[in-house]
Amino acid sequence: MAYVAIADRDHEQHLHDPQTFIEKYVWSQDHKVIAIQYGGTAIAMGVIALALSLLMRLQIGFPDVFNITPYNYYQFVTMHGMIMVIYLLTALFLGGFGNYLIPLMCGARDMVFPYMNMLSYWVFLLACIILCISFFAPGGPTGAGWTLYPPQAISEGTAGVDWGIALMLLSLAVFIVAFTMGGLNYVTTVLQARCRGMTLMRMPLSVWGIFVATILGLLAFPALLVAAIMMLLDRSIDTSFFMPALMLAGDATETEGGSPILFQHLFWFFGHPEVYIVALPAFGLVSDLLSTHARKNIFGYRMMVWAIVAIGALSFVVWAHHMYVSGMNPYFGFFFATTTLIIAVPTAIKVYNWVLTLWRGDLHFNLPMLWATGFIFTFVHGGLTGLFLGNVTVDLPLSDTYFVIGHFHMVMGVSPIMVLFGAIYHWYPKMTGKMPNKTLGTIHFWMTFLGTYAIYLPMHYIGILGVPRRYYAYGDTDFIPASAHTVNEAITIAAIFVAVAQVVFFICIFYSLKKGEPAGPNPWKATTLEWQTPDTPPKHGNWGKELPVVHRWAYDYSVPGDKEDFIPQNHPVKPGEASVGA
């Protein structure tokens, strides 16, 4: 039978029709509810990880004061890292924003597999619960570092080797199942459920970023799953996938022939695309934030799409830049340094285009625009420090120092968080019908932006000095002067400051829910489809009786000859409207 697009078969698609409170808000198959469930759970996990990071910083900054043992310290380090990367960032960008925005921006009523979408959230929640259980298991959670390298991850000298590591690996496997279910939804919806007129090149960059990130995830997470399964087997039944013949704590092991480097290859084959799974949605979202609030199309849309795709594709061939000093065949260093520095080029193009979007724009410094500008600054910094580490020889003195920590926090922690907050404030009026409180949001911005820079700028410098990472204490190390310890104190204080600043965020969100100004359907005057829904917040099914029809690309801002400074995507072509720039 001939294929007819879902958009044109709207009358055939039977959405789940919830009646009870439980069906509408708990076992919901509505992508918007699922998005909020994902978002809430991810943020809750993030708060836990933030608290863990404070404990770490207290030990590093003030080693004589707080009762933190090395055993616990490494548990904090591990859980902080794993929760932030996977359970907060990946879940929030893809499960949260992906779920909320994709159907709305594509003009669909919902994801194409709503039941599986619902399942994906509950399985994600299960993964979170399993991970949290490891805090209470005998021996506590694993202290192997978020990278979980064997043999130490499954050896007696590491914290949590009885239950912690097994629960961690199990939780990751469950997460991967959840992610796959969600990811199949996002990809299929983008490919199959766009409304009439919505070609791929008319999609906003938010969708492109999330779409390519999802493809990366679907292809990269299996490597983590494979590594996790093999490590679980090594731990539980003494196989030798990663374990060579060892003498652990004076006892010879039964294992032989395994390779710890094999794990690293598998882990980073996943791990590098993972950072782009976090970064690409951020890139897409920030493009839309900048464009909307600058009243100007994103500069070089085609190049931006190309760059997203190129970065996604290249992200699969750079992984061993995490392994320059791993003992792998050193000749690989030439190859991976080259590919890594090549990937800098499309990334730089994106940065130029963001800034060029501001150039000759009509910049409204609403709350989301503050965060978007903060993103540019922090991402430039973080991206540039990546060039140091990607260049294999420069990585030699800097690897495993605080320089690395500074770099990856800037590019994974600070700049994506800038985007997350900007995006939350930006879409808040659509999700709730209220405007976010500008005063509180502005305070939140300045505290976070300045505070995080105060944390991470100096950190790079003590890294250059040679201060190593993952150290519980430094003792009387000659090459580390007392001033470096003072820097650590200052960083800790800045970290506490930033953590407190997040309280302002929660106050703002909840306060605005009750007392925020009513927002109207399109307070930012944006062109993209999600702002054109008949109801705000959008009801189940999103579009009322008729799906939208798209007549133009996503960035018709300040079109010459038009009296408004924006034309929504679903506005028909007016007679006499010229095709500009043809």
Show contacts with other proteins in window 449-508 (CB under 8 A): 450, 453, 457-458, 461-462, 464-466, 468-479, 481, 483-484, 487
**Smaller CB distance to other proteins: residue 48 or 215?**
215
CB of 255 to other proteins, least distance (A): 7
CB of 15 to other proteins, least distance (A): 13
**Smaller CB distance to other proteins: residue 25 or 66?**
66
Cα of first residue to Cα of last residue in the chain, in angstroms, is 38
Residues 234-293 that bind other proteins (CB under 8 A): 237-241, 244-250, 252, 254-262, 265-266, 269
Which of 15, 54, 387, 496 binds other proteins (CB under 8 A)? It is: 387
**Smaller CB distance to other proteins: residue 239 or 432?**
239
Whole-number Å distance between alpha carbons of 202 and 551: 9
**Smaller CB distance to other proteins: residue 155 or 432?**
155
Encode burial over 353-378: b for 16+ CB neighbours within 10 A, e otherwise.
bbeebbeebebeebbbbbbbbbbbeb
What x-and-dash track marks residues 514-543 binding other proteins by CB under 8 A?
A: ------------------------------
391 near other proteins (CB under 8 A): yes
CB of 20 to other proteins, least distance (A): 25
CB of 276 to other proteins, least distance (A): 11
163 near other proteins (CB under 8 A): no
**Smaller CB distance to other proteins: residue 36 or 178?**
178
Q: How many CB atoms lie within 10 A of CB 327?
A: 10
Question: Which residue in this structure is represented by tokens 């390519």?
Answer: 212
**Smaller CB distance to other proteins: residue 47 or 394?**
394
Which of 15, 328, 493, 499 binds other proteins (CB under 8 A)? It is: 328
225 near other proteins (CB under 8 A): yes
The burial of 69, by beta-carbon neighbours within 10 Å (0-12 exposed, 13-18 middle, 19 or more buried), is given as exposed
Cis amide linkage into residue 523, ω under 30° from 0: no
Residues 64-83 that bind other proteins (CB under 8 A): 64-71, 74
The burial of 253, by beta-carbon neighbours within 10 Å (0-12 exposed, 13-18 middle, 19 or more buried), is given as middle
CB of 156 to other proteins, least distance (A): 7
Contact 6, 110 (CB under 8 A): no
Which of 97, 301, 456, 505 binds other proteins (CB under 8 A)? It is: 301
Please count the CA atoms within 13 angstroms of the CA of 180 that sit on its side-chain side: 13
CB of 49 to other proteins, least distance (A): 18
Contact 132, 78 (CB under 8 A): no
CB of 333 to other proteins, least distance (A): 5
Q: How many CB atoms lie within 10 A of CB 438?
A: 16
Contact 324, 395 (CB under 8 A): yes
Q: What is the token pair recorded at 60? A: 């590093």
**Smaller CB distance to other proteins: residue 159 or 509?**
159
Q: Residue 524 is which amino acid?
A: W
Residues 334-353 that bind other proteins (CB under 8 A): 334, 337-338, 341-342, 344-345, 348-349, 351-353
Q: What is the token pair recorded at 149? A: 């390298």
325 near other proteins (CB under 8 A): yes
Segment interacting with other proteins, rule: CB under 8 A, options 24-32, 87-95, 411-419, 546-554: 546-554
Cis amide linkage into residue 397, ω under 30° from 0: no
CB of 353 to other proteins, least distance (A): 8
Encode burial over 439-459: b for 16+ CB neighbours within 10 A, e otherwise.
ebbebbbebbbebbbbbbebb
**Smaller CB distance to other proteins: residue 121 or 555?**
555
Residues 10-69 that bind other proteins (CB under 8 A): 63-69
How many positions of this chain bind other proteins (CB under 8 A)? 197
- H, E, C per residue of 116-139: HHHHHHHHHHHHHHHHHHCCCCCC
Which of 294, 410, 423, 447 binds other proteins (CB under 8 A)? It is: 294
Of 299, 417, 419, 309, the closest CA to residue 361 belongs to: 299
Measured CA to CA in angstroms, residue 479 lies from 203, 277, 457, 464, 482 at distances of 54, 38, 20, 12, 10
Which of 47, 54, 384, 493 binds other proteins (CB under 8 A)? It is: 384
**Smaller CB distance to other proteins: residue 66 or 510?**
66
138 near other proteins (CB under 8 A): no
The burial of 414, by beta-carbon neighbours within 10 Å (0-12 exposed, 13-18 middle, 19 or more buried), is given as buried
**Smaller CB distance to other proteins: residue 43 or 165?**
165
Which of 117, 171, 206, 385 binds other proteins (CB under 8 A)? It is: 385
Whole-number Å distance between alpha carbons of 122 and 95: 12
Q: What is the token pair recorded at 116? A: 């599986």
Of 177, 175, 139, the closest CA to residue 158 belongs to: 139
Residues 89-128 that bind other proteins (CB under 8 A): 112-113
**Smaller CB distance to other proteins: residue 41 or 373?**
373
**Smaller CB distance to other proteins: residue 539 or 574?**
574
CB of 132 to other proteins, least distance (A): 20
What x-and-dash track marks residues 176-195 binding other proteins by CB under 8 A?
A: ----x--xxx-xx--xxxx-
